Every structure is written in structure tokens, then in C-alpha cells.
Structure 1
Amino acid sequence: MDGHCPTMKPSQIRYSAVSEKDMDDNGILIGQELDDLIKNRKNIGAIPPLPIAQHNHYWVTPNNRRLWICRQLQRLEMLNMIRVRKVGFIPTGVFDDLTIIDVGRQQSNRKQKSSLILGLVAGIVCAVVIVLAYFLNK
């Protein structure tokens, strides 16, 4: 981590919280910010260095929103490395995933995935009951 402008893969950096609002203080939605970068309305190279600190052998950032955006860009193969800046931040936790919370509806990505899984499980249970009923009525 020595040098003027070190870089790291976004996937090597952990979140310092389990959730983040979908809208920043200026009213910009995180999805809109990501779309602006994907569609070249904003320059990916102009993303400021991500502040990081080491905690329990992990690199962690207090800027969870920017890390989430950078990880999405990495996943889309639009960004491989991000500039980082070591800071004196002491995180309260270290997390691999971040849930984006919809400020208006207070629903998270995890809740939406959970309801899809519950629907799938309910469908399987229903199919098993029908098959059992068929064989029991023979």
C-alpha cells in the first residue's frame, strides 16, 4: 500500500456496514449513478480514491456506496482496479455484502430475493403434495 496512488480490486475491499440507502444526500439514486458511469455520462476514471483502513486482516471502507458501485462496474468488467487512499477509519464491522435499502418503500434486495425463494419453495411443496395425493388415492 505504499506509493502515491495505490490501487486495489474492488472485490478485495469489504464494506463497513450491512446496508446503505439507495439515495445520497443530494437525492441521487445509486442506480442512476451506476447507469451514468455505465453509459459514459460520467467518467469512470474520475472516481475519487476510495478511503480504506485495515481491520482484522481486511481492507474496509467507510464509503460503502462508492464501493458497491465499483464492485458492480468490476462485475460488468468495466473496472478492474480502483484508486485507494489509506485513512485512520476504525470500522465497527467487516462485511462481504451490502443491501441497498429503498428509502421510499424500505425494501431491500435481500427481502426481494427471499420472497422469490419462498415462492419457489411454496411451488415445490405444492407439487409434492399433489404427487402424494395422487399416489395415496390409487
Structure 2
Amino acid sequence: MDLKPSYIFYSQDSVFDKRTSHNRTRIGETLGDVCEGRCSIESIPAITVVNQDGKWMTTDNRRLWVFKELELLGKCVNIQVNVGQSIPEAKRTTKNNWVSIIIRGYPGGDWYQKHENRDHYQIVPNSTRYDDNDSDDNFTHSDNSDNYDSDSDGW
């Protein structure tokens, strides 16, 4: 099945900036690799989506960020997705109706800076974590031990 990345929602409130299994690069570097022709969109593993309350949602949040950036840059319209059955409640940590994500640390590369629309993410230092008790603009420091990214295949 094909979907526009903009039709897919994040399941988590944040992701780490760790290197992915895709050429051992950060998500921003993967974005640059696709934009500069060093790899194709098809070389990025398809994400799995689940229909939750009429919205397509994924736990493959790092890849979704890359695909959303590619869409904003005019580098893709639709992506191939796999349809799953459910997302465990523990992996649904979003605090803003699934529309944006916090990237904890530097994503790498600079292609994500080549457009003005940054509504779907915010970058914060890796030592910071969103706190339920804070407003949308406030963060608290943490060792990140209680946070994880659920992308099971290194993404």
C-alpha cells in the first residue's frame, strides 16, 4: 500500500539521534544521501503503519521523519508501507495528537534546514527529555534511561 508521509502520524513523543542501520548514518545524513543521489528512497526499509482511530500511525518514527522531510523537499509523494495490526499502548507516548516529534540530539546533515516547515519536529539536546508536567516548550534534563526508540530493526 502507498501513503503520503504527511498522512502518517508519529506514535512516540521523541526519538534519539543515534545512528541507524541504514549505512550507519544519522537520520539527517540519510536524508542527505537520498537528496544527493547516494542512495534511493527504496533502500530505506518500508515502515509499518496501523490504523488507530481513523489515523495511520507508526512506531517507525525515525524513518517517518526522513520520509516527511523528503516529501517537504519535493523528493517523494508517496511511500510504500506495510499494514500492521496494532501498536501497544506503551509505545504510544505522543503528547500532541501524533503530529510532531522531538529529536533528542543533532540529526546530522543539513538538508532538513533547506525548507521552512518544521511543524512536525523539534530538535533538543540529547541530554534533554520532554516532561509530562512541562508545557510544550519546556524540557527537563535526564540520562534518557527511561526513554527508548521502538524501531526494532535499528531505525
Per the TM superposition, whether the score is higher than 0.5 is: yes
Unaligned runs of 5+ in 2: 107-124, 131-136, 139-155
Tell me, in whole angstroms, the C-alpha distance in 1 between the residues paired with 2:58 and 2:101.
Answer: 12
After superposition, the CA RMSD in angstroms is 2.4
Tell me, in whole angstroms, the C-alpha distance in 2 between the residues paired with 1:70 and 1:91.
Answer: 23
* Alignment equivalent of 1:100, drawn from 99, 103, 122: 103
Normalized per residue, the structure richer in strand is 2
Larger Rg over CA atoms: 1
Sequence identity (%): 29
Tell me, in whole angstroms, the C-alpha distance in 1 between the residues paired with 2:100 and 2:61.
Answer: 10
State whether residues 20 and 27 of structure 2, in contact with CA within 8 Å, keep that contact through their aligned partners in structure 1. no
CA separation of 1:36/1:25 partners in 2, compared to 1, >3 Å: closer, same or farther? closer
Any idea what the Cα deviations from partners look like across 1:47-93, whole Å, max 9, x if unmatched?
Answer: 33220011121110110000000000000000000001111231533
**Residues 1:61 and 2:64 are matched in the alignment:** no
Tell me, in whole angstroms, the C-alpha distance in 1 between the residues paired with 2:71 and 2:49.
Answer: 18
2:74 counterpart SS class? coil
Tell me, in whole angstroms, the C-alpha distance in 2 between the residues paired with 1:14 and 1:70.
Answer: 12
Paired position in structure 1 for 2:9: 14
TM-score normalised over the length of structure 2? 0.60
1:35 counterpart SS class? helix
State whether residues 16 and 126 of structure 2, in contact with CA within 8 Å, keep that contact through their aligned partners in structure 1. no
State whether residues 49 and 84 of structure 1, in contact with CA within 8 Å, keep that contact through their aligned partners in structure 2. yes
Tell me, in whole angstroms, the C-alpha distance in 2 between the residues paired with 1:75 and 1:107.
Answer: 28
Q: How many residue pairs were aligned? A: 105
Tell me, in whole angstroms, the C-alpha distance in 2 between the residues paired with 1:38 and 1:71.
Answer: 13
Paired position in structure 1 for 2:18: 23
Unaligned runs of 5+ in 1: 1-5, 116-138
Any idea what the Cα deviations from partners look like across 1:103-136, whole Å, max 9, x if unmatched?
Answer: 7x4267x9xxx69xxxxxxxxxxxxxxxxxxxxx
Letter aligned with residue 30 of structure 2: E
Find runs of 4+ consecutive structure 1 residues off by over 6 angstroms.
Answer: none
